[in-house]
Structure 1
């Protein structure tokens, strides 16, 4: 009989803090995240380590070094050491040094480069040796069964590049929480630690979202399309094999010029259809276009539902009452989901501009303060703390998580360089960023990593084995 590994003994001097309600959910428990940043220059690993470790020891940031434990009722809590020592460190750290050029390394030599047209440019899992340290966590139990910090840093050095990977359980923070962490890390590196804000609701402070969803003032606008337990079961049974099949991961580069032209075309289409000066973001258009590409294996005249489930940061929406505005940070999870319900036939027969506009309208309509309250209210009452889903049991669901606002390519480590940057002048920004996840492998889930410093967009995702080949055929037609 399988038994969960025993947790380390409790330390009586630790500060015990329950996880926030919207951090401790089955969805976030399922993901262990790794973000790898590639810099075309040599960085000092000691400076990177010491600065991040010092940040984890600061007031308000100490949960980065917290140990995770499960209570007798099954919920999660942080055990924050009263003092970080060599025996109980504030940061998981590892460093691998290769006294060679990255071009001479059998794996690093294959790191993706931007393409001149939309294309798959690599498999992020190919680089596992470069971002996953020996013994690195790949499931929640790896944190619960060990006395280890939440945040980890793994550095791989070459004579011409430095690969910097941070990793953490999704229960710790989302993409915008990661951005706040990176901002604080850069300030620490620059010796400007007096400018680092204390995160909102940090360490032992109360959960700022403790009452979110408890006082809805209106019904969710898609409440009639909410899936029942039976509908979710039907959907799960219909897609169970997708979770059991071999999945393939790819990363896609969408060049700046292509997306600019695509957005202009979408706006022209909408103007021709009588829409007065419509507003579309690059993200709206990218998701609309990619949806058409990624469902190219489905019959084009099908009335089957296609649901675009967009992860949505609640920070701006909640800034007026629950979360801080600019100048502060929230290092936790503050994500809801905004669904867009279409049909396969809509996606193929309507213009790209139409699909993009449905995405924009959904964000405007369902991203209000009252609608976020309604959505999180349904989340609170859901069986098993699963977020509400909308659609039907036969739907084809795509999940998008757009990290563009996190501006991961703006990370500047110039204060850690040991040799001048080769491509970015006085700044030291990543030339390539990728995300990897362990635990739940979500088919048809696409993190949009964001826009690089040349204006190219990058996205990745897992699909059933063989489906990426079909997509590459479609991309070749673009």
Structure 2
């Protein structure tokens, strides 16, 4: 295609277990922003970061590989749609209610605020040659909602956050950061120490039998738990402080030490304990906790802070497996300590390099962070 260059979708971008996903992240801002300013900012940002005009294709009809068609800066554009209403945010959308205790809330989303049409699949994006990245803007009487949709094979949530920060920078008259052009993963893999027996805790590759096992387990879960529905768990600041104090006290009583616990540590611990520790029908069923770390923040040499990396930069760290009955019997503090140790271990350069080497060695296979049949909590 004229005005487009072709790049392969790199090994680290093909998160095989989730490569088929199209993700959407919404950002709600109070106040009204003029549509013309948003259109102008989107045009400026695409010229600065032409990757936002990417289209996907396969090199041949019988090839499973993906290629990215990236336009030159002059012809790049970010596909943008608008929804305009004279109503305010509370008239058209249900938002989480602030409560004094931890509450689970079921919200009904107004999809018109976030999509102009149904989410296309990867194959639909390829066959239609539609833009891979899309921005949907809802202009309300008192708010502006930006919704960014993207295929996970090209970008992660941190990259989407960078896109939004870049757009806001342009709207404020500031210059967004330059995009990191070179592939940081190649350099990192080349610095790793190859090992023929390299294995990562939890990580495996799926074959036909694994997919069958996973499908059977999904049917069993559907029978016991019913269909999946979206929930929002609201944690007020006072409750997070209480959970931290409780967890530290429990660890002290057990003679276990931890330098500190973050808010994220105790929130994840609470969710893990309540999701699986409370399960009744299968106390021996196992699960693992997956904690997502952003390589951009862990490997400054490969991802300099004065550049923006818009592709996939997440590292998934996995715990050992735990039976539901074990999670039930563990204190909140013990689980929070498990989360903290997972973060510390996953942040070590050798751990990150092992992860990169493993993914590189298993390129082209379906890479999954847990064996078939196990459940996960991903945070």
Normalized against structure 2, the TM-score is what?
Answer: 0.86
Matching residue of 2:81:
94
Point out the more displaced range, 90-99 or 36-45.
36-45
Instruction: For residues 406-448 of structure 1, give each alpha carbon's deviation from its aligned partner in whole angstroms, at most 9, with x where no partner exists.
Output: xxxxxxxxxxxxxxxxxxxxxxxxxxxxxxxxxxxxxxxxxxx
Check 1:118–1:146 CA distance in 2 against 1; reply closer, same or farther (3 A cut): same
Aligned equivalents of 1:51, 1:372: Cα separation in 2 = 36
Q: Is the 8 A contact 2:201 2:319 kept in 1?
A: no
- The alignment of Structure 1 onto Structure 2 pairs a total of residues equal to 371
Change (3 A) 1:27 1:90: farther
Which residue of 1 is the match for residue 122 of structure 2? 140
1:153·1:165 contact (CA, 8 Å) conserved in 2?
yes
| 1:102–1:158 contact (8 Å) kept in structure 2 | yes
Whole-angstrom distance in 1 between the partners of 2:7 and 2:17: 20
Secondary structure of residue in 1 paired with 2:185? coil
Output one character per residue of 1:181-201: Cα deviation in whole Å (capped at 9) or x when no partner.
Answer: 2232222112122xx221213
1:63 aligns with 2:42: no
- 1:369-408 alignment runs, 5 A limit: 369-382=349-362, 384-390=364-370, 393-400=372-379
1:162 partner SS? strand
Larger % of helix: which? 2
Matches within 5 A, 1:73-472: 73-82=63-72, 90-105=77-92, 108=93, 110-123=94-107, 126-134=109-117, 136-193=118-175, 196-201=176-181, 206-213=182-189, 215-216=192-193, 223=200, 227=204, 229=206, 232-233=210-211, 235-241=213-219, 242=221, 246-276=227-257, 278-299=259-280, 302-320=283-301, 322-324=302-304, 326-341=305-320, 342-382=322-362, 384-390=364-370, 393-400=372-379
**CA gap 1:104/1:300 in 2 versus in 1, 3 angstroms:** closer
The SS at the match of 1:177 is helix
Instruction: Give 2:39's aligned residue.
Output: 49
C-alpha distance in 2, partners of 1:370/1:28? 25
Shift of 1:232: 4.1
> Given that residues 99 and 236 in structure 2 are in contact (C-alpha distance below 8 angstroms), is that contact kept between their aligned partners in structure 1?
yes
TM-score (norm 1): 0.70
> 2: distance between equivalents of 1:261 and 1:221?
41
Q: Is the 8 A contact 2:206 2:367 kept in 1?
A: no
2:14 aligned residue: 24
Equivalent position SS for 1:387: strand
Report if aligned partners of 1:288, 1:356 keep a CA contact under 8 Å in 2.
Answer: yes
Worse-superposed segment, 285-294 or 376-385: 376-385
Inter-partner Cα distance in structure 2 for 1:243 and 1:312: 30
CA distance in 1, matches of 2:119, 2:206: 32
d(CA) in 2 for partners of 1:153, 1:232: 36
Q: Could you tell me how far apart the structure 1 residues matched to 2:342 and 2:374 are?
A: 18
Deviations 1:259-297 (A, max 9, x none): 111011111211222234532111111111111111255
Note the aligned Cα RMSD (angstroms): 2.9
Shift of 1:84: 5.3
Aligned residue for 1:153, secondary structure, equals: strand
Give per-residue Cα distances to partners, 1:225-259, cap 9 Å, x unaligned: 65575784575144232589732112221111111
